[in-house]
Amino acid sequence: MVDMRQSFFELVLNAMMRMIAGKRYYGETDADSEEAKRFREIQVETFTLSNTPNLGDFIPIMKWIGPKRTEKRLTELHMKRDGFMQNLIEEHRKTLAIDDSSETQGRKKNMIEVLLSLQKTEPEYYKDEMIRALMLVLLLAGTDSSVNTMEWALSLLLNHPKALQKAQAEIDNIMGQNRLINESYLAHLPYIRGIISETLRMYPPGPLLMPHESSQDCTVGGYWVPGGTMLFVNLWAMQNDPKTWVDPGEFKPERFGSCEGMRDGFRFMPFGTGRRGCPGEGLAMSIVGLALGSLIQCFEWEKIGEEMVDMKERSGLNFTKDQPLYAKCRLRPSMVKVISEI
Protein backbone atom coordinates (compact mmCIF):
# COMPACT_ATOMS: atom_id res chain seq x y z
CA MET A 1 0.00 0.00 0.00
CA VAL A 2 1.43 3.35 -1.09
CA ASP A 3 0.76 6.92 0.05
CA MET A 4 0.40 8.31 -3.46
CA ARG A 5 0.14 11.97 -2.49
CA GLN A 6 3.46 11.85 -0.66
CA SER A 7 5.05 9.93 -3.53
CA PHE A 8 3.80 12.44 -6.12
CA PHE A 9 4.92 15.32 -3.91
CA GLU A 10 8.47 13.98 -3.63
CA LEU A 11 8.63 13.18 -7.34
CA VAL A 12 7.59 16.66 -8.48
CA LEU A 13 9.83 18.49 -5.98
CA ASN A 14 12.81 16.37 -7.06
CA ALA A 15 12.09 17.16 -10.71
CA MET A 16 11.81 20.88 -9.96
CA MET A 17 14.99 21.03 -7.89
CA ARG A 18 16.91 19.07 -10.52
CA MET A 19 15.96 21.77 -13.02
CA ILE A 20 16.58 24.64 -10.62
CA ALA A 21 19.78 23.56 -8.86
CA GLY A 22 20.76 20.08 -10.09
CA LYS A 23 19.86 18.55 -6.70
CA ARG A 24 17.51 15.94 -5.26
CA TYR A 25 16.16 16.19 -1.74
CA TYR A 26 13.98 13.07 -1.59
CA GLY A 27 14.83 9.41 -2.03
CA GLU A 28 16.90 6.75 -0.29
CA THR A 29 20.25 8.26 -1.27
CA ASP A 30 19.30 11.93 -0.99
CA ALA A 31 17.33 12.29 2.23
CA ASP A 32 19.98 12.29 4.98
CA SER A 33 21.88 15.53 4.41
CA GLU A 34 21.18 18.55 6.58
CA GLU A 35 20.47 20.58 3.45
CA ALA A 36 17.80 18.08 2.34
CA LYS A 37 16.17 18.06 5.78
CA ARG A 38 16.09 21.85 5.85
CA PHE A 39 14.56 22.01 2.39
CA ARG A 40 11.84 19.50 3.29
CA GLU A 41 10.98 21.39 6.49
CA ILE A 42 10.64 24.65 4.52
CA GLN A 43 8.41 23.00 1.90
CA VAL A 44 6.10 21.44 4.49
CA GLU A 45 5.74 24.79 6.26
CA THR A 46 5.18 26.59 2.94
CA PHE A 47 2.26 24.40 1.87
CA THR A 48 0.81 24.36 5.39
CA LEU A 49 0.75 28.16 5.62
CA SER A 50 -0.53 28.54 2.05
CA ASN A 51 -3.77 26.88 3.20
CA THR A 52 -4.04 28.96 6.39
CA PRO A 53 -6.42 31.93 6.05
CA ASN A 54 -5.32 35.33 7.30
CA LEU A 55 -8.33 37.22 8.71
CA GLY A 56 -6.73 40.56 7.92
CA ASP A 57 -7.01 39.80 4.19
CA PHE A 58 -10.80 39.55 4.47
CA ILE A 59 -11.59 41.90 7.36
CA PRO A 60 -9.24 44.90 7.04
CA ILE A 61 -9.77 46.11 10.60
CA MET A 62 -8.24 42.85 11.86
CA LYS A 63 -4.90 44.00 10.47
CA TRP A 64 -4.86 46.66 13.18
CA ILE A 65 -6.59 45.08 16.16
CA GLY A 66 -6.37 41.34 15.67
CA PRO A 67 -3.55 38.84 16.35
CA LYS A 68 -0.83 38.69 13.69
CA ARG A 69 0.39 35.15 14.24
CA THR A 70 -0.11 34.13 10.60
CA GLU A 71 1.69 37.19 9.23
CA LYS A 72 4.56 36.63 11.68
CA ARG A 73 4.91 33.00 10.62
CA LEU A 74 4.81 33.99 6.94
CA THR A 75 7.53 36.60 7.51
CA GLU A 76 9.75 34.10 9.34
CA LEU A 77 9.15 31.51 6.60
CA HIS A 78 10.04 34.04 3.90
CA MET A 79 13.35 34.80 5.63
CA LYS A 80 14.22 31.09 5.99
CA ARG A 81 13.26 30.34 2.38
CA ASP A 82 15.17 33.35 1.03
CA GLY A 83 18.24 32.36 3.02
CA PHE A 84 18.12 28.79 1.71
CA MET A 85 17.80 29.93 -1.90
CA GLN A 86 20.59 32.51 -1.52
CA ASN A 87 22.88 29.77 -0.21
CA LEU A 88 22.16 27.76 -3.37
CA ILE A 89 22.97 30.80 -5.51
CA GLU A 90 26.26 31.40 -3.69
CA GLU A 91 27.19 27.74 -4.00
CA HIS A 92 26.64 27.80 -7.77
CA ARG A 93 28.43 31.15 -8.10
CA LYS A 94 31.54 29.65 -6.50
CA THR A 95 31.29 26.53 -8.67
CA LEU A 96 31.03 28.59 -11.86
CA ALA A 97 33.99 30.74 -10.83
CA ILE A 98 36.15 27.64 -10.31
CA ASP A 99 35.14 25.39 -13.23
CA ASP A 100 33.75 27.79 -15.82
CA SER A 101 36.38 26.72 -18.33
CA SER A 102 36.34 22.97 -17.68
CA GLU A 103 33.65 21.00 -15.89
CA THR A 104 30.67 23.19 -16.79
CA GLN A 105 31.68 23.25 -20.45
CA GLY A 106 29.80 20.78 -22.63
CA ARG A 107 27.05 19.92 -20.12
CA LYS A 108 23.56 21.24 -19.67
CA LYS A 109 23.32 23.96 -17.05
CA ASN A 110 20.60 24.15 -14.41
CA MET A 111 18.45 27.25 -14.04
CA ILE A 112 20.61 28.95 -11.42
CA GLU A 113 23.71 28.52 -13.59
CA VAL A 114 21.93 29.93 -16.64
CA LEU A 115 20.70 32.97 -14.71
CA LEU A 116 24.11 33.59 -13.13
CA SER A 117 25.63 33.53 -16.62
CA LEU A 118 23.09 36.14 -17.72
CA GLN A 119 23.87 38.13 -14.59
CA LYS A 120 27.39 38.75 -15.90
CA THR A 121 26.08 40.57 -18.99
CA GLU A 122 22.95 42.18 -17.49
CA PRO A 123 23.67 42.60 -13.75
CA GLU A 124 21.11 45.40 -13.37
CA TYR A 125 18.30 42.99 -14.35
CA TYR A 126 19.39 39.50 -13.28
CA LYS A 127 19.91 40.37 -9.64
CA ASP A 128 19.99 37.71 -6.95
CA GLU A 129 16.54 38.89 -5.88
CA MET A 130 15.20 38.12 -9.37
CA ILE A 131 16.79 34.66 -9.34
CA ARG A 132 15.28 33.87 -5.93
CA ALA A 133 11.87 35.06 -7.17
CA LEU A 134 11.99 32.77 -10.22
CA MET A 135 12.99 29.82 -8.03
CA LEU A 136 10.07 30.54 -5.70
CA VAL A 137 7.58 30.78 -8.57
CA LEU A 138 8.58 27.34 -9.87
CA LEU A 139 8.39 25.74 -6.44
CA LEU A 140 5.04 27.29 -5.48
CA ALA A 141 3.18 27.27 -8.79
CA GLY A 142 4.71 24.16 -10.34
CA THR A 143 4.47 21.57 -7.58
CA ASP A 144 1.17 21.42 -5.70
CA SER A 145 -0.90 21.84 -8.89
CA SER A 146 0.84 18.90 -10.62
CA VAL A 147 0.64 16.76 -7.48
CA ASN A 148 -3.11 17.40 -7.18
CA THR A 149 -3.71 16.57 -10.84
CA MET A 150 -1.87 13.24 -10.63
CA GLU A 151 -3.64 12.31 -7.39
CA TRP A 152 -7.09 13.10 -8.82
CA ALA A 153 -6.28 11.26 -12.08
CA LEU A 154 -5.20 8.05 -10.36
CA SER A 155 -8.20 8.26 -8.00
CA LEU A 156 -10.53 8.50 -11.00
CA LEU A 157 -8.82 5.53 -12.68
CA LEU A 158 -9.12 3.39 -9.54
CA ASN A 159 -12.86 4.14 -9.51
CA HIS A 160 -13.07 3.37 -13.25
CA PRO A 161 -10.98 0.19 -13.79
CA LYS A 162 -12.10 -0.16 -17.43
CA ALA A 163 -10.53 3.21 -18.21
CA LEU A 164 -7.34 2.06 -16.48
CA GLN A 165 -7.28 -1.13 -18.58
CA LYS A 166 -7.85 0.87 -21.76
CA ALA A 167 -4.93 3.17 -20.86
CA GLN A 168 -2.64 0.20 -20.25
CA ALA A 169 -3.65 -1.36 -23.57
CA GLU A 170 -2.90 1.88 -25.43
CA ILE A 171 0.59 2.11 -23.90
CA ASP A 172 1.30 -1.57 -24.60
CA ASN A 173 0.24 -1.18 -28.24
CA ILE A 174 2.45 1.88 -28.79
CA MET A 175 5.45 1.09 -26.59
CA GLY A 176 5.47 -2.70 -26.60
CA GLN A 177 6.86 -4.47 -23.56
CA ASN A 178 10.57 -3.95 -24.07
CA ARG A 179 10.91 -0.23 -23.38
CA LEU A 180 9.62 2.35 -20.96
CA ILE A 181 7.40 5.24 -21.96
CA ASN A 182 9.27 8.49 -22.59
CA GLU A 183 8.29 12.08 -23.20
CA SER A 184 8.55 11.89 -26.99
CA TYR A 185 5.76 9.27 -27.12
CA LEU A 186 3.19 11.23 -25.11
CA ALA A 187 1.85 12.84 -28.29
CA HIS A 188 1.06 9.33 -29.61
CA LEU A 189 -1.06 8.37 -26.59
CA PRO A 190 -4.38 10.20 -27.09
CA TYR A 191 -6.25 8.26 -24.40
CA ILE A 192 -3.63 9.11 -21.77
CA ARG A 193 -3.90 12.77 -22.80
CA GLY A 194 -7.69 12.43 -22.60
CA ILE A 195 -7.44 11.12 -19.03
CA ILE A 196 -5.32 14.10 -18.01
CA SER A 197 -7.58 16.60 -19.78
CA GLU A 198 -10.73 15.09 -18.28
CA THR A 199 -9.12 15.25 -14.82
CA LEU A 200 -8.25 18.91 -15.39
CA ARG A 201 -11.82 19.56 -16.52
CA MET A 202 -13.42 17.97 -13.45
CA TYR A 203 -10.81 19.04 -10.91
CA PRO A 204 -8.93 22.10 -12.24
CA PRO A 205 -5.91 22.94 -10.02
CA GLY A 206 -7.09 26.55 -9.83
CA PRO A 207 -10.92 26.43 -9.87
CA LEU A 208 -11.06 30.26 -9.81
CA LEU A 209 -7.89 30.72 -11.89
CA MET A 210 -5.52 33.44 -10.73
CA PRO A 211 -7.12 36.72 -9.60
CA HIS A 212 -7.24 39.47 -12.22
CA GLU A 213 -7.84 43.20 -11.85
CA SER A 214 -9.87 45.43 -14.15
CA SER A 215 -7.60 48.22 -15.41
CA GLN A 216 -10.52 50.60 -15.99
CA ASP A 217 -14.30 50.87 -15.67
CA CYS A 218 -16.04 48.46 -18.03
CA THR A 219 -19.27 46.54 -18.62
CA VAL A 220 -19.07 42.75 -18.99
CA GLY A 221 -22.17 40.69 -19.73
CA GLY A 222 -24.38 43.55 -18.61
CA TYR A 223 -22.52 44.00 -15.31
CA TRP A 224 -20.68 47.22 -14.54
CA VAL A 225 -17.16 46.53 -13.20
CA PRO A 226 -15.33 49.50 -11.64
CA GLY A 227 -11.64 49.94 -12.40
CA GLY A 228 -9.36 48.31 -9.83
CA THR A 229 -11.84 45.52 -9.02
CA MET A 230 -10.34 42.11 -8.23
CA LEU A 231 -11.96 39.54 -10.51
CA PHE A 232 -12.15 35.75 -10.30
CA VAL A 233 -13.15 33.45 -13.16
CA ASN A 234 -15.25 30.51 -11.97
CA LEU A 235 -13.48 28.00 -14.17
CA TRP A 236 -14.92 25.00 -12.34
CA ALA A 237 -18.48 26.14 -13.12
CA MET A 238 -17.60 26.68 -16.78
CA GLN A 239 -15.99 23.26 -17.16
CA ASN A 240 -18.83 21.48 -15.36
CA ASP A 241 -21.73 23.35 -16.98
CA PRO A 242 -24.40 20.89 -18.25
CA LYS A 243 -25.37 23.44 -20.91
CA THR A 244 -21.93 23.02 -22.45
CA TRP A 245 -20.85 19.51 -21.47
CA VAL A 246 -22.76 16.25 -21.81
CA ASP A 247 -22.90 14.47 -18.43
CA PRO A 248 -20.32 16.79 -16.85
CA GLY A 249 -20.25 14.77 -13.63
CA GLU A 250 -19.17 11.62 -15.46
CA PHE A 251 -15.53 10.68 -16.05
CA LYS A 252 -15.27 10.31 -19.83
CA PRO A 253 -11.73 10.67 -21.24
CA GLU A 254 -13.15 9.83 -24.68
CA ARG A 255 -14.74 13.29 -24.88
CA PHE A 256 -11.22 14.66 -25.51
CA GLY A 257 -10.65 12.90 -28.80
CA SER A 258 -9.21 16.20 -30.01
CA CYS A 259 -7.74 17.95 -26.97
CA GLU A 260 -6.95 21.22 -28.67
CA GLY A 261 -10.39 21.53 -30.26
CA MET A 262 -12.05 21.53 -26.85
CA ARG A 263 -10.67 25.02 -26.18
CA ASP A 264 -12.93 26.61 -28.78
CA GLY A 265 -15.32 29.00 -27.06
CA PHE A 266 -13.28 28.96 -23.82
CA ARG A 267 -15.04 25.83 -22.59
CA PHE A 268 -11.81 24.20 -21.43
CA MET A 269 -8.92 26.28 -20.13
CA PRO A 270 -7.43 24.78 -16.94
CA PHE A 271 -4.26 26.83 -17.46
CA GLY A 272 -6.09 30.07 -18.22
CA THR A 273 -5.72 31.69 -21.62
CA GLY A 274 -4.20 34.64 -23.41
CA ARG A 275 -1.38 36.77 -22.07
CA ARG A 276 -2.15 35.71 -18.50
CA GLY A 277 -2.22 31.99 -19.27
CA CYS A 278 0.04 29.75 -17.19
CA PRO A 279 3.57 29.74 -18.71
CA GLY A 280 4.22 26.33 -17.16
CA GLU A 281 1.52 24.47 -19.09
CA GLY A 282 3.95 22.56 -21.30
CA LEU A 283 6.13 21.53 -18.36
CA ALA A 284 3.12 20.47 -16.26
CA MET A 285 1.62 18.34 -19.05
CA SER A 286 4.98 16.65 -19.62
CA ILE A 287 5.58 15.86 -15.95
CA VAL A 288 2.02 14.68 -15.29
CA GLY A 289 1.84 12.69 -18.55
CA LEU A 290 5.18 10.96 -18.08
CA ALA A 291 4.59 10.15 -14.38
CA LEU A 292 1.04 8.91 -14.84
CA GLY A 293 1.92 7.00 -18.01
CA SER A 294 4.87 5.29 -16.27
CA LEU A 295 2.71 4.20 -13.32
CA ILE A 296 0.03 2.81 -15.66
CA GLN A 297 2.59 1.02 -17.83
CA CYS A 298 4.61 -0.57 -15.02
CA PHE A 299 2.11 -1.46 -12.31
CA GLU A 300 -1.27 -3.05 -11.66
CA TRP A 301 -3.35 -0.80 -9.42
CA GLU A 302 -6.14 -1.55 -6.97
CA LYS A 303 -8.17 0.27 -4.34
CA ILE A 304 -7.22 -0.56 -0.75
CA GLY A 305 -10.75 -1.83 -0.05
CA GLU A 306 -14.10 -2.55 -1.62
CA GLU A 307 -15.31 1.03 -1.26
CA MET A 308 -14.87 3.59 -4.01
CA VAL A 309 -12.03 6.08 -3.54
CA ASP A 310 -13.31 9.10 -1.61
CA MET A 311 -13.49 12.03 -4.07
CA LYS A 312 -14.36 14.80 -1.59
CA GLU A 313 -12.19 17.89 -1.94
CA ARG A 314 -10.77 20.07 0.81
CA SER A 315 -12.05 23.64 0.95
CA GLY A 316 -9.68 26.27 -0.37
CA LEU A 317 -8.56 28.05 -3.54
CA ASN A 318 -7.09 24.88 -5.04
CA PHE A 319 -8.63 21.46 -5.61
CA THR A 320 -6.94 19.18 -3.08
CA LYS A 321 -8.36 15.80 -2.07
CA ASP A 322 -9.74 15.87 1.44
CA GLN A 323 -8.25 12.43 2.12
CA PRO A 324 -4.82 11.59 0.64
CA LEU A 325 -4.91 8.74 -1.85
CA TYR A 326 -3.63 5.34 -0.70
CA ALA A 327 -3.50 2.57 -3.30
CA LYS A 328 -2.18 -0.96 -3.71
CA CYS A 329 0.16 -1.77 -6.56
CA ARG A 330 2.24 -4.64 -7.87
CA LEU A 331 4.69 -4.81 -10.74
CA ARG A 332 3.18 -6.05 -14.01
CA PRO A 333 4.84 -9.37 -14.96
CA SER A 334 5.44 -8.12 -18.50
CA MET A 335 7.54 -5.21 -17.15
CA VAL A 336 9.82 -7.15 -14.78
CA LYS A 337 12.67 -7.45 -17.28
CA VAL A 338 12.53 -3.79 -18.34
CA ILE A 339 12.40 -2.51 -14.75
CA SER A 340 15.29 -4.74 -13.68
CA GLU A 341 17.54 -3.13 -16.31
CA ILE A 342 17.08 0.44 -15.04
The dihedral through the CA atoms of 44, 24, 97, 91 has a sign that is: positive
Question: From CA 125, how far away is CA 275, in angstroms rounded?
Answer: 22
Question: From CA 293, how far away is CA 295, in angstroms rounded?
Answer: 6
CA distances from 261 to 41, 193, 220, 282 (A): 43, 13, 26, 17
Question: From CA 126, how far away is CA 124, in angstroms rounded?
Answer: 6
> Strand order in 326-331's β-sheet?
2-3, 326-331, 299-302
Beta strand 320-321 with 313-314: parallel, antiparallel or unpaired?
A: antiparallel
Question: From CA 320, how far away is CA 204, in angstroms rounded?
Answer: 10
Do residues 296 and 192 lie in contact, with contact meaning Cβ atoms separated by under 8 Å?
A: yes
Determine the 3-state secondary structure of 219 from DSSP. strand
CB-hemisphere CA count at 13 Å for 278? 22
CA angle (3 as vertex; 27, 81 as ends), nearest 5: 55
Q: Is 298 annotated in some ligand binding site?
A: no
Question: From CA 86, how far away is CA 216, in angstroms rounded?
Answer: 39
Question: From CA 213, how far away is CA 276, in angstroms rounded?
Answer: 12
Question: From CA 322, how far away is CA 246, in angstroms rounded?
Answer: 27
DSSP per position, 160-172: -HHHHHHHHHHHH
- Residues tagged in the binding site annotation for heme: 278
